[in-house]
Amino acid sequence: MTIMKDLPMPPVAGSPPAGMPSPREHLMSPRTQAVLKIQQALVAGARAVLSGEGAVELFQPLIGPVTDPGARGAKQVDVDYYGHRYKLMASAILYKQASLVAFDKVFFIAPNVRLEPLETSATHRHLAEFHQIDVEFAGASRDDAIALAERVVRGAVRHAVTAQGDALRLLGRDTATLEAFVAEPFKVVRHGDVIRQLGGAHGDGTEIEWPAEERLSGQASAPFFIVDYPKGSRGFYDKEDPARPSTLMSFDLIAPESCGEICSGGERESNYARIVTRMRETGENPAKYAWYLDIVRQGIPGSAGFGIGLERLTRWVAGLGSVWEASAYPKVPGVVSP
Total tally of structural domains belonging to the chain = 1
Task: Give the integer Cα–Cα distance in Å for 141 and 73.
Answer: 29
Task: Give the integer Cα–Cα distance in Å for 46 and 22.
Answer: 31
Which pLDDT score, from 0 to 100, does residue 26 have?
96
Position 102 confidence tier, pLDDT thresholds 50, 70, 90: very high
Count of residues in the chain? 338
pLDDT at 119 over 90: no
pLDDT at 327 over 50: yes
Check which CATH number belongs to the domain holding 269 and give it.
3.30.930.10
Which pLDDT score, from 0 to 100, does residue 200 have?
60
Q: What string of H, E and C letters represents the secondary structure of 31-83?
A: HHHHHHHHHHHHHHHHHHHHHHCCCEECCCCCEECCCCCCCCCCECCEEEECC
Which pLDDT score, from 0 to 100, does residue 5 have?
38
280 within 8 A of 250, measured Cβ to Cβ = no
Q: Which residues contact 130 (CB under 8 A, 6 or more apart)?
A: 111, 112, 114, 309, 310, 311, 312, 323, 327
DSSP 215-256: HHHHH-SS-EEEE-PBTTSS-TTBPEETTEEEEESEEEEEET
Residue 91 lies in a domain: yes
Residue 256 lies in a domain: yes
Indicate the range of 54-68, 141-155, 198-212, 264-278 predicted with least confidence.
198-212
279 within 8 A of 237, measured Cβ to Cβ = no
Position 4 confidence tier, pLDDT thresholds 50, 70, 90: very low
Q: Give the domain extent around 287.
A: 23-326
For 286, other C-beta atoms within 10 Å of its C-beta total 16
Residue 332 lies in a domain: no
Position 181 confidence tier, pLDDT thresholds 50, 70, 90: very high
Q: Which residues contact 174 (CB under 8 A, 6 or more apart)?
A: none
pLDDT at 180 over 60: yes
Residue 76 lies in a domain: yes
Residue 71 lies in a domain: yes
Which pLDDT score, from 0 to 100, does residue 6 have?
41
pLDDT at 82 over 80: yes
pLDDT at 12 over 60: no
Which pLDDT score, from 0 to 100, does residue 35 have?
98
Question: Which of 266 and 72 is assigned the larger pLDDT?
Answer: 266
Residue 2 lies in a domain: no
Task: Give the integer Cα–Cα distance in Å for 300 and 303.
Answer: 9
Residue 17 lies in a domain: no
User: For residue 285, what are the CA distances in angstroms to 77, 226, 246, 277, 279?
Assistant: 18, 30, 21, 10, 7
Which of 130, 138, 86 minimizes the C-alpha distance to 107? Answer: 138
User: For residue 121, what are the CA distances in angstroms to 11, 71, 87, 323?
Assistant: 7, 15, 23, 10
Which of 255, 248, 271, 244 minimizes the C-alpha distance to 142? Answer: 248
pTM: 0.93
Question: Which of 251 and 209 is assigned the larger pLDDT?
Answer: 251
Which pLDDT score, from 0 to 100, does residue 9 have?
43
Residue 4 lies in a domain: no
pLDDT at 183 over 60: yes
Each residue of 277-311: pLDDT tens digit?
Answer: 999 988 899 999 999 999 999 999 999 999 999 99
